[in-house]
Chain A
Amino acid sequence: MSSHTLPYTVESHPVTGLYSGKFGTWLFLASEVMLFGALFSSYVLLRVGAPADGPGAWLSHEEAHLDWKIGGFNTLVLIISSVTMVMAWASLKMGNLKKGKTYLAVTMALALLFVVIKLTFEYLPHIQHGLVPSHSTFFALYYTMTGLHALHIIGGVVVIAYFIGPGSALWAKNPEYYTNRIECTGLYWHFVDLVWIFLFPVLYLL
């Protein structure tokens, strides 16, 4: 069995001007724009189509018991996690694996904090009060949008955990390749942060 080396993992591809992992990640993120774009479009369509009052009227965030302080705190948690993620890449770029892995661990801890806050202070109390997806159009959309976003957070945690653990063995063989992989993970992570930047005002404030 012959061993093959993937081309353009470190050097830029002559056509795209990017290493292939980065271009692939951007294509994936373009598809994610469609996914979340469709959900935002559905939100606007259903909201402008809801009756002004009576049965089926749109729930305000007060009626939905959504506290902007919890959403705002989680926004800050994700923003800080974006900074630690990009600092992990910068540390690796400067040749410091230990520091890079520490920043990755902090990013993962912040991601888990986001999910724990969402579950403990929002999902569980809402479910206990019967505010489940079948309660109203608002909650159907709320759980779909925030649930899909939370799944993306959990997916990011799995990838980051891999690169702190077994995936970091690549550093010894090819540090630049490993650093590029962290950059791609970061692109995904910042996109997840970016989606929340729009979800927060739409669901908690407007």
Chain B
Amino acid sequence: MADAHTDIAKHVKLYIGVFIALAVFTVITVAASQWDIGHRGNVALALVIATIKGTLVASVFMHLKWERGMTLWVTFAISAIFFAVLLLVPVLAVSDAPPGVQMGTWG
């Protein structure tokens, strides 16, 4: 029981650390958006920062860092494949635009 308490107390320190990291990354997200590196560069940078933040939330707050069951990871893999397919739709639309239709401007 005492060990369980010590473990949770360690977790709490990690939670506070992740909170600080998330707050800092939010400030970086805003600052990076003011940096003119072209639309594509800004989009890529913002998504990279959001992915880092999302990974921190999922691994620490959602306890994935401590999960070992393969079933869960297989579920994630299937889910990730479907998500990738969904995001592939706009890519296919841009690469197969009808003649005269300009796509991919991200106006």
Contacts and interface: CB of A to CB of B under 8 A. Distances in A.
Interface of A: 12, 15-18, 23, 26-27, 30, 33-34, 37-38, 40-41, 44-45, 47-53, 57-58, 68, 72, 75-76, 79-80, 82-83, 85-87, 90, 93-94, 183, 186-187, 190-191, 193-194, 197-198, 200-202, 205-206
Nearest to B46: A201
Q: Which 8 A-B pairs have the closest CB atoms?
A: A17-B69, A205-B33, A201-B46, A30-B79, A45-B90, A44-B90, A58-B107, A16-B71
| Count class of interface residues, chain B | 35 or more
A189 B105 CA distance: 35
B102 A41 contact: no
Nearest to B107: A58
B65 interface: no
B87 A201 contact: no
Given A90-B8, A197-B57, A201-B50, 17 more contacts: A16-B69, A16-B72, A34-B79, A34-B83, A41-B89, A72-B26, A76-B23, A79-B23, A80-B19, A82-B57, A86-B15, A183-B63, A198-B47, A198-B50, A200-B26, A201-B33, A201-B46
10 contacts: A17-B67, A37-B86, A38-B86, A41-B87, A44-B87, A48-B94, A52-B102, A68-B30, A190-B62, A206-B39
Interface in B6-30: 8-9, 11-12, 15-16, 18-19, 22-23, 26, 29-30
The B interface is mostly helix, strand or loop, or mixed, namely helix
B72 A187 contact: no
Contacts of B70: 17
Contacts of A34: 79, 82-83, 86
Given A40-B87, A87-B12, A52 B105 contact: yes
A185 B42 CA distance: 34
The A interface is mostly helix, strand or loop, or mixed, namely helix
Interface of B: 4-5, 8-9, 11-12, 15-16, 18-19, 22-23, 26, 29-30, 33, 39, 42-43, 46-47, 49-50, 53-54, 57-58, 61-63, 67-72, 75-76, 78-79, 82-83, 86-87, 89-90, 93-94, 101-107
B30 A205 contact: yes
A72 B23 CA distance: 10
Contacts of A190: 57-58, 61-62
Nearest to B39: A206
A26 B72 contact: yes
Q: Which of B49, B61, B68, B83 has the most CB of A within 10 A?
A: B61
A116 to B, nearest CB: 20
